[in-house]
Each structure stands twice: as structure tokens, then as C-alpha cells.
Structure 1
């Protein structure tokens, strides 16, 4: 009796598991990959700010002043998280590309 029940169960269990797996994978396929340090459309200027100790920050902006301000804000945030000195952040590189 248990041999018949096991066969009946296995005949639908594997296809069901495969269908669930495919459905879950399809739900993640349409999401775009995250973009971390890439510039947004129209952002031609970038700036890098570094503290004396800790991690710095790179930022993109439409203008040079926006990029500089964003990089300083990132530097203060990252230096504080990395055990550095946020109050010593300075912009060390700022350029706009053509």
C-alpha cells in the first residue's frame, strides 16, 4: 500500500517543485542590476574627497560644485563609519569631462 502512495506522490512532487523554482527565478530576472559609483545621465563632473584617516568619498554631479559638495558629504559619512576623522575631509580631485 505504501509503495503505491509513494509513486503517486513522486509523480507530481518533482514537477511542482520545478515549477515553483522557475516562478521564483523569473520574478528576479526583470530587476536591473544596482549601480554604485556610475554617473547618472547628464553628470559630467566628479570629485573625490579624502580625510587624513579613514575612507573617502567619490561623487558625480551635473556641475563641479555639486560634485564637490556630494563628495564632501560622502567623505564625512564614510570616514565616520570607518573610524576615521570626518572633520578633516578635503576635496583632492575635481574635474568635468567633455
Structure 2
């Protein structure tokens, strides 16, 4: 009599798929409150784009990111200015 042995991936396939689905849903749900965005650019170097619950939060975060990225890329972090800010 022959017995059928389940394949090794069958045991973890369903839990892995459920975990993936939950992770994707969690990632999407965090952006539901971030409907506003802002972009800040320095005169030289890389700028920063940020999302936030309000336009002011997005502006503040984009200025912080701009200063960080500008200094890393050899730019001028003190010259960062918000060039675009809006809410969807």
C-alpha cells in the first residue's frame, strides 16, 4: 500500500499567504491618514518628499528630509524651501 505524503510547503503556505495579506493591508491602512504631501528642495543637492495627515505636518517633514538628504549629497541644507504642498 502506498501512502501519499504531503509536500513540505503545504504546511506553511496558507499561514504565509495570510501573513502577507495582513502585511499588505497594514501598509495600505497607514497611508489612509496621510493625504497631504510636500516637496522641499535646496539650491544644491537632493530634496525631500514627505506625506502627512495635514499640510503643515507634510511641510515640516519634507524640510527635515530635505536638510538631511542635502547634507548627505554635498548640497546646501540651509537653503531648503517647500516648493510644493497639497492635500488630495
Q: Same fold (TM over 0.5)?
A: yes
What residue ranges of structure 1 are gaps of 5+ in the alignment?
1-18
Report the Cα offset of residue 42 of structure 1.
1.0
SS in 2 for 1:60: strand
1:64 aligns with 2:63: no
Report the Cα offset of residue 41 of structure 1.
2.3
CA RMSD of aligned residues (A): 2.1
Match of 1:14 in 2: none
SS in 2 for 1:53: coil
What residue ranges of structure 2 are gaps of 5+ in the alignment?
1-7
TM-score by length of 2: 0.67
Match of 2:4 in 1: none
1:84 aligns with 2:75: yes
Report matched runs for 1:9-88 at 5 Å.
30=19, 32=23, 40-88=31-79
TM-score by length of 1: 0.61
